């Protein structure tokens, strides 16, 4: 299956990132290469990009799509949380810009074998990096009920997490829960109806995907000191697609733009913190109605950006 991923908010990203010739950029979520291609075009003739993605299919597709830029593009199959180590290995030092598009690609949802979607029946998998051992199958069939409850409540914000976890436990005592269809059916029986037009299993599948891929942990690791990747004047643009991601980005960017982290009414600052960045977006930028019509998955995208001081 051809790797398909339509990048969102491309013009808005470029307007904030401002790629220029001779500069170096990180695309930490390479996907199909849409944002990277635009950066390479705008930073021609000698701008360079490091593209990271943990999905082998994405890496293969991006190498094919961007082969004409191979002298200016370095691609690695890994998570963006490893970005600092790789930049150090490459002797790049601090760079001019970073972009993260945290969305799951259309390819991952549409390829039944990947086990991301309840739209088709496939073995429960959900790994973005298929080199890792943990799958959704493992969580559903082997994790304690309390842990499944936590995953559904915390990562899926699923109000019926306890009941769904209990139903999973009951079912797996009788048989192995093999497929996405099996799991979707269990959840549907608990919830019995669609919520706000969504399939009743939407939140459960989101939660399992996040847990399998350690998505929030990876984002937290990156955001802890992500500003260190940027030179003064360097810009970071992050696109999130659900409230958990956006909350982490918003919180980190707020911290970076503060000059002190001491509790309110502290008489004397002793936190040792200094301001790292200025916000470029007071509120998140969202996709236009035109873009949403062309690419419905852009509907939930939220873009935030900062500039290093």
Q: Reply yes or no on whether the pLDDT at 291 is more than 70.
A: yes
**What is the DSSP pairing of strand 302-308 with strand 230-240?**
antiparallel
Give the pLDDT band (50/70/90) at residue 265: confident
- Is the confidence at residue 299, as pLDDT, over 70? yes
Confidence of residue 196 (pLDDT cuts 50, 70, 90): low
Would you state the pLDDT for residue 110?
62
Going by C-alpha positions, the residue among 205, 210, 197 that lies closest to residue 168 is: 205
Please report, for the domain that includes residue 286, its CATH number.
3.40.50.150
Domain finish residue from 195, 213, 231: 213
Residue 152: pLDDT over 80 = yes
Distance CA 169, CA 161 (A): 12
3 has a pLDDT exceeding 60: no
Number of domains comprising the chain = 2
Choice among 119-123, 136-140, 208-212, 227-231 with the minimum mean pLDDT:
119-123
Domain extent at residue 279: 10-101+216-308
- Domain closes at, from 213, 237, 253: 213
Q: By percentage, how much of the chain surpasses pLDDT 70?
A: 94
pLDDT at site 82: 96
pTM score, two decimals? 0.93
Q: Kindly report, residue by residue over 94-144, the tens digit of the pLDDT.
A: 999 999 999 886 656 666 677 678 888 899 999 999 999 999 999 999 999
Instruction: Look at 64-78, 194-208, 268-282 and tell me which has the smallest mean pLDDT.
Output: 194-208
Q: How far apart are CA 159 and CA 149, in angstroms?
A: 10
Neighbours of 185 (CB within 10 A): 15
Supply the pLDDT for residue 5.
65
Domain boundary among the residues 169, 190, 213 is at: 213
* 205 shares a domain with 120: yes
Of the listed ranges 138-142, 197-201, 249-253, the one predicted with least confidence? 197-201
Check whether residue 15 and residue 33 sit in a common domain: yes
**Mean pLDDT, the chain, whole residue set:** 94
Burial of 160-173, coded b for 16+ CB within 10 Å and e otherwise, reads: bbbebbebbeebbe
Say yes or no: 220 and 198 in one domain.
Answer: no
| Residue 7 vs residue 27, higher pLDDT | 27
Rounded Cα–Cα distance for residues 278 and 57 (Å): 36
């Amino acid at each position: 299956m051809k790797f398909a991923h339509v990048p969102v908010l491309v013009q808005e990203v470029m307007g904030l990132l401002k790629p220029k010739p001779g500069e170096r950029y990180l695309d930490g979520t390479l996907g199909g290469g849409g944002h990277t291609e635009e950066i390479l075009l705008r930073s021609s003739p000698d701008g360079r990009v490091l593209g990271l993605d943990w999905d082998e299919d994405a890496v293969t597709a991006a190498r094919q799509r961007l082969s004409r830029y191979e002298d200016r593009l370095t691609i690695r199959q890994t998570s963006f949380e490893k970005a600092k180590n790789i930049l150090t290995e490459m002797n790049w030092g601090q760079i001019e810009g970073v972009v993260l598009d945290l969305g799951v690609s259309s390819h991952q949802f549409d390829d039944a074998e990947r086990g991301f979607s309840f739209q088709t029946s496939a073995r429960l998998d959900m790994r973005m990096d298929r080199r890792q051992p943990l799958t959704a199958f493992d969580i559903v069939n082997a994790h304690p009920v309390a842990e499944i409850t936590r995953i559904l409540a915390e990562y899926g914000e699923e109000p019926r997490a306890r009941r769904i976890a209990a139903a999973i436990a009951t079912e797996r005592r009788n048989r192995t829960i093999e497929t996405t269809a099996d799991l979707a059916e269990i959840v549907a029986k608990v919830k019995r109806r669609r919520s706000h037009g969504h399939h009743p299993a939407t939140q459960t599948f989101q939660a399992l995907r996040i847990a399998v891929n350690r998505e929030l942990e990876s984002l937290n690791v990156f955001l802890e000191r992500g500003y260190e990747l940027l030179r003064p004047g360097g810009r970071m643009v992050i696109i999130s697609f659900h409230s958990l991601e956006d909350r982490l980005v918003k919180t980190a960017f707020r911290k970076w733009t503060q000059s002190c982290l001491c509790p309110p009414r502290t008489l004397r600052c002793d936190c040792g913190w200094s301001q790292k960045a200025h916000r470029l977006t007071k509120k998140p930028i969202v996709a236009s109605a035109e873009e949403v019509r062309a690419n419905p998955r852009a509907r939930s995208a939220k873009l935030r950006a900062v500039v290093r001081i």
